[in-house]
């Protein structure tokens, strides 16, 4: 519930009190955003008082009598230089001519109310102004929030890009100063770490480009019939060298080839990310199960590992951008922190979602749900 401040400017006492009564006992409902609005009133009886009260009270709505003893409503509007984002003015007048209406609107009034009017007419006009004001504020707030999220993203991205560079920079300087002597052999570890950090940076950039493509909607999506089982096979192939080295067994479980109407590249991103995570965060001699499943409504992609797992608290923030679970178990695992947030974005394109169930040191199960019909192709 929010309360809007109304400044009533009229030289007739009865008029001021009547308008105030009509608004004070009134609660309006804004259906679109499910909010109730009430009104608080304040008065001024002449031009000078109106200007002082306006500046002190910062009303959301100004009910302004057109004809005051010392000044006209239009002149007050000009003096106040009201800003439509903060205050909407409703001009009230006994001379209901088109001419006054036009000049009032031109001077910045939002609406016009002709005397005599009923309490209900006043409420209707004020409601219209309130609605317009609140919706405009809502829109502004949303776009501000979006801007903030963007700034935050860029600042985290800057950090993520800079830290590998400073690590490599540090190592190169050590080499330049021949800190470990003149034998190249002594620098083996350092060179290996430099390569790890460049790989990490490369992965970050690839994931970032992938995510931007999905998010911008600029990529031409190609919705065709895709065999998910084939894509899963390819994803397994990609991680096989790594999996074999650590003796991790990967199995795909599907009754029949699962076919979906989808963009093949998006399906590849989902499966590649999930399968490579399941291997990366697994233990030696572990297992990865990929289950593909389809019913009338949904396609399910389930990837289950026997890896390091996560606490419930950690799973909650997992799908946000740049979230990486940092602990001693993950320190040598490469990741950009973008893969899962990209999966979530893709799933949403298919009216679906992604979730995870996990237990520390037991493993994690990721489930991606995609709606098999009503595929959203507009984006």
Partner 1 sequence: MQDSKKKVLLVDDDIDLLYQNSILLKQNGFEVITAENQKQAEELIKSIKPDIVVTDLMMEELDAGFTLAHHIKQVDDNIPIIIVTGVAQETGMRFFSGTEEEKGWTKADTILSKPIRFEQLLQEIKKLLAID
Nearer to partner 1, 65 or 321 (CB): 321
Element (H, E) at 167: helix 119-176
* Minimum distance from residue 336 beta carbon to partner 1 (Å): 16
Identify whether the C-beta of residue 111 lies closer than 8 Å to the C-beta of residue 124. no
* Minimum distance from residue 193 beta carbon to partner 1 (Å): 6
* Minimum distance from residue 358 beta carbon to partner 1 (Å): 18
Identify whether the C-beta of residue 60 lies closer than 8 Å to the C-beta of residue 133. yes
Nearer to partner 1, 80 or 194 (CB): 194
Binding region for partner 1 (CB under 8 A): 155, 158-159, 163, 166-167, 170-171, 174, 179-180, 193, 197, 326-328, 331
Question: How far, in Å, CA of 114 to CA of 8, rounded?
Answer: 15
Here the tokens at position 208 are 């970032």
Q: How far is CA 19 from CA 10, 14, 127, 128, in A?
A: 10, 9, 13, 16
* Minimum distance from residue 160 beta carbon to partner 1 (Å): 11
Nearer to partner 1, 40 or 193 (CB): 193
* Minimum distance from residue 324 beta carbon to partner 1 (Å): 11
DSSP 282: P
- Alpha-helix residue ranges (DSSP H) falling in 217-368: 228-245, 264-280, 312-317, 339-349
Nearer to partner 1, 15 or 196 (CB): 196
Nearer to partner 1, 180 or 261 (CB): 180
Nearer to partner 1, 185 or 256 (CB): 185
Question: How far, in Å, CA of 281 to CA of 170, rounded?
Answer: 28
- Three-state DSSP at 37 gives strand
* Minimum distance from residue 173 beta carbon to partner 1 (Å): 8
Here the tokens at position 248 are 């991790």
Element (H, E) at 164: helix 119-176
């Amino acid at each position: 519930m929010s309360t809007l401040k109304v400044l009533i400017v009229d030289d007739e006492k009865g008029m001021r009190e009547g308008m105030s009564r009509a608004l004070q006992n009134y609660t309006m409902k804004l259906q679109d955003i499910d909010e109730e609005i009430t009104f608080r009133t304040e008065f001024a009886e002449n031009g000078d008082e109106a200007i002082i009260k306006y500046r002190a009270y910062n009303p959301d709505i100004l009910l302004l009598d057109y004809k005051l003893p010392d000044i006209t409503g239009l002149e007050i509007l000009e003096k106040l230089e009201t800003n439509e984002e903060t205050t909407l003015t409703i001009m009230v007048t006994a001379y209901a001519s088109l001419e006054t209406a036009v000049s009032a609107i031109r001077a910045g009034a939002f609406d016009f109310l002709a005397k005599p009017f009923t309490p209900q007419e006043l409420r209707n006009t004020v409601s219209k102004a309130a609605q317009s004001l609140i919706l405009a504020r809502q829109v502004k707030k949303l776009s501000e929030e979006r801007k903030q999220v963007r700034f935050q993203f860029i600042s985290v991205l800057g950090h993520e890009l800079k830290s590998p560079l400073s690590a490599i920079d540090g190592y190169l300087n050590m080499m330049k100063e021949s800190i470990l002597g003149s034998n190249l052999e002594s620098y083996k570890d350092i060179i290996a770490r430099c390569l790890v950090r460049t790989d990490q940076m490369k992965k970050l950039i690839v994931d970032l480009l992938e995510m931007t493509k999905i998010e911008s909607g600029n990529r031409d999506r190609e919705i065709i019939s895709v065999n998910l089982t084939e894509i899963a096979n390819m994803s397994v192939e990609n991680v096989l060298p790594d999996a074999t080295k650590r003796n991790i067994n990967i199995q795909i479980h599907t009754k029949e080839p699962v076919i979906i109407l989808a963009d093949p590249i998006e399906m590849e991103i989902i499966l590649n990310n999930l399968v490579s995570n399941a291997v990366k965060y697994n233990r030696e001699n572990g297992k990865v199960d990929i289950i593909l499943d389809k019913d009338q409504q949904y396609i399910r992609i389930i990837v289950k590992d026997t890896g390091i797992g996560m606490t419930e608290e950690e799973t909650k923030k997992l799908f946000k951008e740049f979230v990486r679970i940092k602990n001693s178990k993950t320190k040598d695992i490469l990741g950009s922190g973008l893969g899962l947030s990209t999966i979530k974005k893709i799933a949403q394109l298919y009216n679906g979602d992604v979730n995870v169930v996990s237990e520390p040191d037991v493993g994690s199960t990721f489930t991606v749900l995609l709606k098999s019909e009503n595929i959203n192709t507009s984006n």
